[in-house]
């Protein structure tokens, strides 16, 4: 999985201040020819403006975004940029004074204080630029965090919509069987409890072992075969190179569920479902085909919702790294899915 850089946002901010220190040194040293003076001046400036800019880009920016009080933030931005400029002026005067007292050799850089208007313009521009950069960086980090949170919410929401009608259908089927065949109903209930347990405990995890997912799919198929007995024939081929490989949970169930939902289930004309799943280190290939119920089914708002959800999940989990092809004919319905696991 991708490394989440937002978890190390403090390192990114620290990198900005280190870069700023280096920029100061590169800018000042050629005009002073004294590395000690340059380093001391750069450290003093960076350390002094750090708390001011951090407060602006941290507490004030977050408060402004949460409360949508951008005018108030703009006022503080200008005010604190002036304060940063004032800090610049004070250190320029200090080091100019130190050079006059011959603590450091005379240099061109600190002669800027002899031109008040130019000095004011330069340091004010620098203050605005520094605050603008750190605020922009903070805003970018918060935006990435919000997008990540949105994607996580979308994924959880989409996963929680998996197989709702299957749950009600199985419970209703068990209820009917309890009146006719208690042993059969008991077997079905045990198999269904395994499915429900997996969805509750593994469905909320970011990834699961591919073997765990395959076992879950097998349990689902067993339940459906118990329900429909001789009305549906199923053949499945599982080719797993590495059972401990990590993949997202509940990734293929909607395709199998749809196959059982729309396959023809007539005693005289049993339905047929064929399934193939191959997992390697580089990719996952999934294919499923089901014969179609010749009797037209009533359309509903939920029809197609499962496919819409899994398409959305795939776009979030594997952008530009998956191919989903759906083919429908008068005889059957087929789904081809290839997922590239390596970038």
Please give the pLDDT value at position 164.
58
Rg (C-alpha) for the chain, rounded Å, is 33
Residues 288, 217: contact at Cβ < 8 Å?
no
Strand partners for 287 = 276, 336
Instruction: Please give the domain boundaries of the chain with CATH numbers for all domains.
Output: 5-151 (no CATH), 161-340 (3.30.565.10)
| Mean pLDDT of all residues in 295-309 | 62
Residues 6+ apart with CB under 8 A from 131: 53, 56, 57, 77, 80, 81, 84
8 Å CB contact between 283 and 337: no
Tokens of 93: 């005067």
289 forms beta bridges with 274, 334
CA distance 239 to 241: 6
- Cβ atoms 263, 295 nearer than 8 A: no
Task: Name the helix (H) or strand (E) containing 86.
Answer: helix 70-100
Q: What is the mean pLDDT of residues 20-24?
A: 92
Which pLDDT tens digit goes with each residue over 46-88?
999 999 999 998 888 888 877 778 888 899 899 999 999 999 9
Contact 297, 306 (CB under 8 A): no
Provide the residue count of the chain.
343
Out of 21-30, 35-44, 103-112, 128-137, which region has the weakest mean confidence (pLDDT)? Answer: 103-112
| DSSP secondary structure code for residue 270 in this structure | -
Name the nearest CA neighbour of 323 among 293, 277, 283: 283
Task: Measure CA 136 to chain center.
Answer: 21
The tens digit of pLDDT for each residue in 128-137 reads 999 899 998 8
Phi, psi of 241 (to 5 degrees): -75, -40
Report the pLDDT value the prediction gives residue 241, as an integer from 0 to 100: 92
């Amino acid at each position: 999985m991708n490394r989440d850089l937002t978890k190390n946002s403090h390192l990114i901010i620290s990198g900005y201040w280190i870069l700023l220190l280096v920029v100061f040194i590169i800018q000042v040293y050629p005009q002073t020819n004294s590395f000690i003076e340059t380093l001391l001046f750069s450290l003093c400036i960076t350390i002094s403006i750090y708390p001011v800019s951090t407060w602006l880009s941290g507490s004030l920016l977050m408060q402004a975004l949460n409360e949508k009080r951008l005018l108030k933030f703009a006022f503080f931005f200008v005010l604190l940029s002036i304060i940063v400029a004032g800090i610049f002026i004070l250190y320029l005067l200090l080091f100019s004074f130190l050079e006059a007292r011959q603590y450091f050799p005379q240099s061109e850089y600190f002669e800027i204080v002899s031109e008040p208007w130019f000095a004011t313009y330069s340091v004010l521009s620098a203050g605005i630029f520094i605050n603008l950069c750190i605020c922009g960086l903070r805003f970018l980090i918060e935006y990435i965090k919000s997008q990540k949170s949105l994607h996580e919410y979308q994924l959880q929401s989409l996963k929680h919509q998996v197989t709702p009608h299957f749950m009600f259908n199985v419970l209703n089927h068990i209820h009917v069987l309890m009146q006719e065949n208690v042993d059969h109903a008991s077997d079905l209930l045990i198999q269904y409890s395994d499915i429900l347990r997996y969805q509750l405990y593994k469905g909320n995890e970011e990834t699961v072992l591919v073997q765990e997912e395959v076992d879950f799919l097998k349990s689902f198929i067993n339940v459906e075969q118990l329900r429909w007995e001789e009305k549906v024939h199923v053949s499945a081929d599982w080719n797993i190179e590495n059972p401990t490989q990590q993949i997202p949970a509940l990734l293929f169930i909607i395709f199998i569920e749809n196959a059982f939902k729309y396959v023809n289930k007539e005693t005289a004309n049993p339905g047929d479902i064929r399934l193939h799943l191959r997992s390697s280190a580089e990719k996952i290939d999934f294919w499923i085909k089901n014969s179609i119920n010749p009797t037209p089914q009533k359309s509903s708002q939920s029809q197609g919702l499962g496919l819409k959800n899994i398409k959305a999940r795939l776009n979030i989990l594997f952008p530009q790294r998956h191919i989903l092809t759906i083919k429908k004919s008068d005889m059957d319905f087929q789904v081809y899915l290839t997922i590239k696991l390596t970038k």
